Amino acid sequence: MDSRHRELEPGLFEPVEVDRDEGERISGPRVGFWKDSWIRLKKNRGALFSLAVVLFLFAMAFVIDPLLSPHSPYAQDLARRYLGPTADYWFGTDKFGRDMWTRVWAGTRVSLYIGLLAALLDIFVGVVYGAISGFLGGRIDDVMQRGIEILNGIPYLIVAILAMIVFDPGIITISIAIGLTGWTFMARIVRGRMLQLKDQEFALASRALGASGFRLVWKHLIPNSLGLIVINLMFTIPAAIFAEAFLSFIGLGIQVPEASLGSLISDGAQELRFHPFLLWFPSIIFCLLMICFNLLGDGLRDALDPKMRK
Amino acid sequence: MTEGNGRPLLEINNLKKYFRVGRETLKAVDGISLKINRGETLGLVGESGCGKTTAGRVLVRLYEPSGGEVLFGGKNVHRTAGEEAKLLNRKMQMIFQDPQASLNPRMIVGDIVAEGLDIHGLVSSRQERLERVHELLEVVGLNKDHANRYPHEFSGGQRQRIGIARALAVYPEFIICDEPVSALDVSIRAQVINLMRRLQEERGLTYLFISHDLSVVKYISDRVGVMYLGKIVELASSDELYNNPVHPYTQALLSAVPVPDPDVEQERERIVLEGEVPSPVNPPSGCRFRTRCPYVTEACGREEPVWRDVGNDHWVLACHCIH
Amino acid sequence: MSVDSILEVKDLRISFSTHAGEVEAVRGVTFDLRNGETLAIVGESGSGKSVTAKSLMRLLPEANTRIKGGEAIFEGQDLLKLSEKRMQGIRGPKIAMVFQDPMTSLDPTMKVGRQITESLTKHLGMSGSCARERAVELLKMVGIPNAEARVRQYPHQFSGGMRQRVVIAIALACDPQILIADEPSTALDVTIQAQILELLRDLQERIGTSIILITHDLGVVAQTARRVAVMYGGKIVETGTVREIFYNPQMPYTWGLLASIPLPTADRSQDLIPIPGSPPDMLEPPKGCPFTPRCPYAMQICAEEMPDYTTFSAEHKAACWLHHPMAPDVEPPVRVRGTQ
């Protein structure tokens, strides 16, 4: 009530020209979806650390080790068997005197290769299959989904064994075993998203404008599924790495003298009693890979989740 | 107000749209007939489940009809293909209800508005495209520099205007407006309604205005059709419908709308309907409204009501009690 | 504040911390609720009306909500300062809330009857059989036909309108003194809305519950409220009896609201008078009156300072610089000119 009796300058009661455009102006920088997600991801320290570790492991396996390592992963030196970590051999040597450092990184290369293969299959087979199935719907969708169910019904172990009979055990076998069925999960996810999105009003608006099916999928539906796809990829990779490790561990995968993290762990496990370091090093790298990809996947899921925007 | 050759712009004849739900059939639209003249605004009003949204989507060819036909300028819209079909995409456009979901969250506004231009090849250079986008944004009351922003940066009212700009880009003649202002704040609704009226005047547009909000429909429409359970139960000019509702459902609907005038509200005799809307999967036999009609008799279950002219270009799906 | 008030809210201030900054949702709200009346809080999205209501029930997410000030006195206690345990004794038996969306207000895995009896056995200590009887009674009271059978059904077996009635039954189970209804009929069809509003009026007459009705629909306000508080930008800009607000509004935002609604009797050739612009961004709340950017009568001082309330009658107050003796005289828009 005070202001009624307060002495106020008459100038204060002049009308103000209000800029109508001002009301429509949007302040602040343009924030795209990916930039916004990256900002959120950066805040998640676990995810950021995992990303750094993953990148580091990639660099080590594919760049640094091949360039720098003085030893070959196959060179045997029976005089220097079972050496613990030394200056010459950072991870020690195995029962044939082979340098563990190089072998571990060779094994990591194999694991990462499998992970990448699974990821590529996910994208080129899984996404495409799921997108077609979900978008077309109806009878085609039914048939395609039954196809996936049949594929899923076959345990990949059986496929691996069959592949081993036809081809020799090795990288080819594993690739087939994992590649044949690994992409089905992504296909299902993408299909679900397509079903969800294709009835949304922005998709209907596009159709009303006369957009072709291809345009709809490529410009509207897939871009809105990218978050889901990326997140899923981050979980597919460790799953594939684990599958390979398991196959190699039980002897169906990589055979000597090739190395994979799984076979190294398998060999190391046998020597656990007297030469535990043979188990530690490949195990640590393997666990790092698994944990970091999973943490990264979790972080990405939080960062990309549209519900948490604004 | 009809086309050159004397036909209305849009003719809907006994249109039906059924959906299969499990083993049952959902009769969303069960035989509606309308004529819409060039330049007019026809309002289609009804509550949830009446089929008005489905009807709109069949018109713009998002759904195929289960029966009946839709003629635009004399041609059956669902029997066209190729170039003709593409042309129809330009002539008949749609504005959607949900400002959140009707714009692709991953596209910038400029691309959203220009989509029609891209699809139909209406511009020949990037420069032209940009100019046209700016022009459209300004027509709907937004700024040029909004073209580089993402939808989530805008308010509901602004997003709805972007949707209007998108529809206008292809030079439409007929726009179906599916609840365009229902999701907006009260003070923003008037902005969008005024914009739509202005555009209609300036560009000679024809509107089908679908809504459950009677006050808005009455205000913006020349004629109004009331839908219930997939059928049109009454059709008359805006004023005539309000002043002289004949069908008991229309009467109840008008009675149910709260008027922002306390004295009027206190005095009013209210018709409060009993019960709920029956499911469109199994509509009641005979007259569909009989489960809630205050005048129901035994005959209502047997006799189908008949579409009758009660004078003054006022049509009602009339039963025995209407004379 | 009259002797008859059962709830007195004074200078309520609530903020949310978001990753973009602090959002001041409620910036000094004062009102009271009288015994047995319906008070309508009207506002649009962002006005702070829902936040105000939820804060009375302390239902706002703890993690990022800050009650920066004010009090809400009910039965001699400040609701804002009670412990969670004490609040649990109030929510339900003393103050109950009905939300907008009946689909999500009910537990889909629990039979409807059990959702009612839960409240009765917990708060009133009723025995199982007594509670069951009362549940059936309540369903009848809210107009659900065949209550004895329906009490054993699940929420998905009810339609939208029926579900909202069930929600009202649960809310009224323990005879609360205050019912807060946040947009109770907005999500419902108009004919069902009429049923629900009639039900609320009917129940108020019979039981005498005081109701705070939150809505953006002025028609609903005219139909059900005795007094009205108009909120904008986190503040109450005008308050009065329902006739005073509709027939003699004193604040440009209220004028704007009334002028922009298409009345059924409106002249179709006249354009509606919209309020230009959009509701304010509460991340950076304006210094002065929040309505300034959209007000056709805005003056310099409006942007600088928040006006005090001017009293027009026992119930009628408005906060606007136009009422200062030094301000120019203005006429409200034609559509709004009242009878008083």
Mind listing the domains of chain C with CATH numbers? 5-225 (3.40.50.300), 231-336 (no CATH)
Helices (H), A6-99: 20-24, 33-43, 45-59, 65-68
> Which whole number is the average pLDDT over C47-64?
89
- Mean pLDDT computed over every residue of chain C: 88
Q: Residue A243: exposed, middle, or buried by beta-carbon count in 10 A (0-12, 13-18, 19+)?
A: buried
Nearest to C223 among B190, B219, B265 (CB): B265
User: pLDDT at position A200, please?
Assistant: 92
User: What is the enclosing helix (H) or strand (E) of C22?
Assistant: strand C21-34
Query: What is the distance in angstroms between the Cα of C36 and the nearest Cα belonging to chain B?
Result: 18
Can you tell me whether residue C338 is helix, strand or coil? coil
Query: What is the distance in angstroms between the Cα of C313 and the nearest Cα belonging to chain A?
Result: 14
Q: Which two tokens stand for residue B91?
A: 């002539």
Question: At residue B210, what are phi and psi to the nearest 5 degrees?
Answer: -100, 130
Range of the domain at A254: 43-66+84-308
Residues of A whose CB is below 8 A from C20: 310
CA atoms within 13 A on the CB side of C127: 2
Can the peptide bond before residue A257 be classed as cis, meaning omega within 30 degrees of 0?
yes
| B26: CB partners within 8 A, 6+ apart | B18, B19, B20, B280, B281
* Banded model confidence at residue A211, pLDDT cuts 50, 70, 90: very high
Instruction: Judge whether C176 and C92 are in contact, CB under 8 Å.
Output: yes
User: pLDDT at position A96, please?
Assistant: 84
Instruction: Judge whether B92 and B80 are in contact, CB under 8 Å.
Output: no
Q: Taking CA atoms, what residue in A is nearest to C330? A: A15
CB distance B106–A33 less than 8 Å? Answer: yes
Q: One-letter amino acid identity for C115?
A: Q
Best-predicted range by mean pLDDT (A1-15, A227-241, B169-183, C50-64): B169-183
Q: Which two tokens stand for residue B187?
A: 């003070």
Measure the CA–CA gap between A293 and A295, rounded to whole angstroms: 6
CB of C295 within 8 Å of a chain B CB? The answer is no
Q: Which two tokens stand for residue C32?
A: 């009271």
CB distance B102–A206 less than 8 Å? Answer: no
How many cross-chain Cβ pairs, A to C, lie less than 8 Å apart? 59
- Give the lowest-confidence range in A126-130, B131-135, C100-104: C100-104
Q: Give domain status of residue A113, yes or no.
A: yes
Q: One-letter amino acid identity for A109?
A: R
CA distances from C141 to C172, C177, C203, C208, C211 (A): 10, 17, 8, 14, 17
pLDDT digits (tens, 9 = 90+) for A82-92: 887 887 788 88
Q: Taking CA atoms, what residue in A is nearest to B104? A: A202
User: What is the enclosing helix (H) or strand (E) of B32?
Assistant: strand B24-36
User: pLDDT at position A252, please?
Assistant: 77
Q: Give domain status of residue A214, yes or no.
A: yes
Q: Which two tokens stand for residue A205?
A: 């608006």
Measure the CA–CA gap between A146 and A40, rounded to whole angstroms: 39
Q: What is the pTM of this model?
A: 0.85
pLDDT digits (tens, 9 = 90+) for A90-108: 888 888 888 888 888 888 9
CB of C276 within 8 Å of a chain A CB? The answer is yes
Answer yes or no: is pLDDT of C339 > 50.
no
Q: Which two tokens stand for residue B108?
A: 């910038």
Neighbours of C334 (CB within 10 A): 9
pLDDT digits (tens, 9 = 90+) for A219-273: 999 999 988 898 889 888 988 888 888 888 887 777 777 888 888 888 888 888 8
Instruction: Judge whether C198 and C185 are in contact, CB under 8 Å.
Output: no
Q: Which two tokens stand for residue A181?
A: 């069925």
Residues of C whose CB is below 8 A from B188: 44, 274-275, 278
> Which whole number is the average pLDDT over C124-141?
89
Domain containing A167 — which CATH number? 1.10.3720.10
CA dihedral C206, C212, C216, C222 (to 10 degrees): 50
The residue ranking higher by pLDDT, B56 or B274, is B56
Locus of tokens 């009624």: A4
CB distance C300–A20 less than 8 Å? Answer: no
Complex ipTM > 0.95: no
Residues 129-168 of C with CB under 8 A from B: 159-162
pLDDT digits (tens, 9 = 90+) for B246-284: 999 999 999 888 888 888 888 887 888 877 788 888 888
Q: Which of A1, A2, A3 to mutate to test the interface with C (most CBs of C within 10 A)?
A: A3
Instruction: Judge whether A32 and A223 are in contact, CB under 8 Å.
Output: no
CB distance B277–C189 less than 8 Å? Answer: yes
User: pLDDT at position C1, please?
Assistant: 45
> Which whole number is the average pLDDT over C18-47?
89
User: pLDDT at position B220, please?
Assistant: 92
Q: Taking CA atoms, what residue in B is nearest to C189? A: B47
Can you tell me whether residue B37 is helix, strand or coil? coil
Nearest to C257 among B187, B191, B255 (CB): B187
Hey, which residues does C29 pair with through a beta bridge? C12
> Which whole number is the average pLDDT over B11-28?
91
Instruction: Judge whether C235 and C29 are in contact, CB under 8 Å.
Output: yes
Residues of C whose CB is below 8 A from B218: 262, 264
CB distance C307–A12 less than 8 Å? Answer: no
- Chains adjacent to B (≥3 CB pairs closer than 8 angstroms): A, C
Instruction: Judge whether C221 and C242 are in contact, CB under 8 Å.
Output: yes
User: pLDDT at position B1, please?
Assistant: 40
How many cross-chain Cβ pairs, B to C, lie less than 8 Å apart? 133
User: pLDDT at position B39, please?
Assistant: 92
pLDDT digits (tens, 9 = 90+) for C207-253: 889 999 999 889 999 999 999 999 999 999 999 999 999 999 999 99
Answer yes or no: is pLDDT of C23 > 70.
yes
User: pLDDT at position A174, please?
Assistant: 80
Instruction: Judge whether C25 and C234 are in contact, CB under 8 Å.
Output: yes
The residue ranking higher by pLDDT, C285 or C310, is C310
Measure the CA–CA gap between A184 and A189, rounded to whole angstroms: 9
CB distance A209–B105 less than 8 Å? Answer: no
* Banded model confidence at residue B109, pLDDT cuts 50, 70, 90: very high
Measure the CA–CA gap between A166 and B55, rounded to whole angstroms: 59
Answer yes or no: is pLDDT of A9 > 90.
no
Answer yes or no: is pLDDT of A21 > 80.
no
Neighbours of C199 (CB within 10 A): 20
Q: Give domain status of residue A288, yes or no.
A: yes
Instruction: Judge whether A159 and A247 are in contact, CB under 8 Å.
Output: no
Residues of C whose CB is below 8 A from A13: 299-301, 321, 324, 326-328
DSSP letters spanning B109-138: HHHHHHHHHHHHT--SSHHHHHHHHHHHHH
> Can you state the percent helix, strand and coil of chain C, rounding each to 5?
35, 25, 40
CB of C247 within 8 Å of a chain A CB? The answer is no
User: pLDDT at position C192, please?
Assistant: 86
- Chains adjacent to A (≥3 CB pairs closer than 8 angstroms): B, C
Query: What is the distance in angstroms between the Cα of B184 and the nearest Cα belonging to chain C?
Result: 9
| C260: CB partners within 8 A, 6+ apart | B186, B187, B189, B190, C272, C273, C274, C275
Residues 115-144 of B with CB under 8 A from A: 115-116, 119-120, 141-143
Q: How far apart are the first and last CA of chain B?
A: 30
Answer yes or no: is pLDDT of B322 > 70.
no
CB of B214 within 8 Å of a chain C CB? The answer is yes
Q: Give domain status of residue A184, yes or no.
A: yes
Measure the CA–CA gap between C102 and C100, rounded to whole angstroms: 6
CA dihedral C272, C276, C281, C284 (to 10 degrees): -140
Q: Give domain status of residue A198, yes or no.
A: yes
User: pLDDT at position B119, please?
Assistant: 93
The residue ranking higher by pLDDT, A51 or A30, is A51
CB distance A224–B105 less than 8 Å? Answer: yes
Dihedral of alpha carbons B139, B143, B148, B150, sign: negative
Q: Give domain status of residue A144, yes or no.
A: yes
Q: Provide, rounded to the nearest whole percent, the portion of chain A with pLDDT above 70.
A: 91
- Mean pLDDT computed over every residue of chain B: 89
Beta pairing class for B41-45 and B223-228: parallel
* Banded model confidence at residue C270, pLDDT cuts 50, 70, 90: confident
CATH of B10-318, one of 3.40.50.300, 3.30.465.10, 3.40.50.410, 2.160.10.10: 3.40.50.300
Residues of C whose CB is below 8 A from B219: 262, 266, 268, 272
Measure the CA–CA gap between C268 and A243, rounded to whole angstroms: 71
Neighbours of A76 (CB within 10 A): 16
User: pLDDT at position A6, please?
Assistant: 66
Neighbours of A34 (CB within 10 A): 13
CB distance B115–A24 less than 8 Å? Answer: no
Answer yes or no: is pLDDT of A302 > 90.
no
Q: Provide, rounded to the nearest whole percent, the portion of chain B with pLDDT above 90.
A: 56
Closest-CA residue to B97 (of A220, A210, A202, C274): A202
CB distance B142–A24 less than 8 Å? Answer: yes
Nearest to C294 among A15, A23, A310 (CB): A23
User: pLDDT at position A11, please?
Assistant: 72
Instruction: Judge whether B43 and B220 are in contact, CB under 8 Å.
Output: yes
CB of C299 within 8 Å of a chain A CB? The answer is yes
Q: Edge-to-edge strands of the sheet including C309-311?
A: C95-98, C178-182, C210-215, C38-42, C227-232, C235-241, C317-319, C309-311
Measure the CA–CA gap between C324 and A85, rounded to whole angstroms: 87
| B294: CB partners within 8 A, 6+ apart | B248, B252, B271, B273
Q: Residue A27: exposed, middle, or buried by beta-carbon count in 10 A (0-12, 13-18, 19+)?
A: exposed
Measure the CA–CA gap between A181 and B228, rounded to whole angstroms: 51
Q: Which two tokens stand for residue C218?
A: 């002025």
Best-predicted range by mean pLDDT (A158-167, B90-99, C141-150, C154-163): B90-99
Q: Give domain status of residue A17, yes or no.
A: no
Beta pairing class for B41-45 and B306-309: unpaired
Measure the CA–CA gap between B59 and B64, rounded to whole angstroms: 9
Neighbours of C252 (CB within 10 A): 28
Q: Taking CA atoms, what residue in B is nearest to C145? A: B275
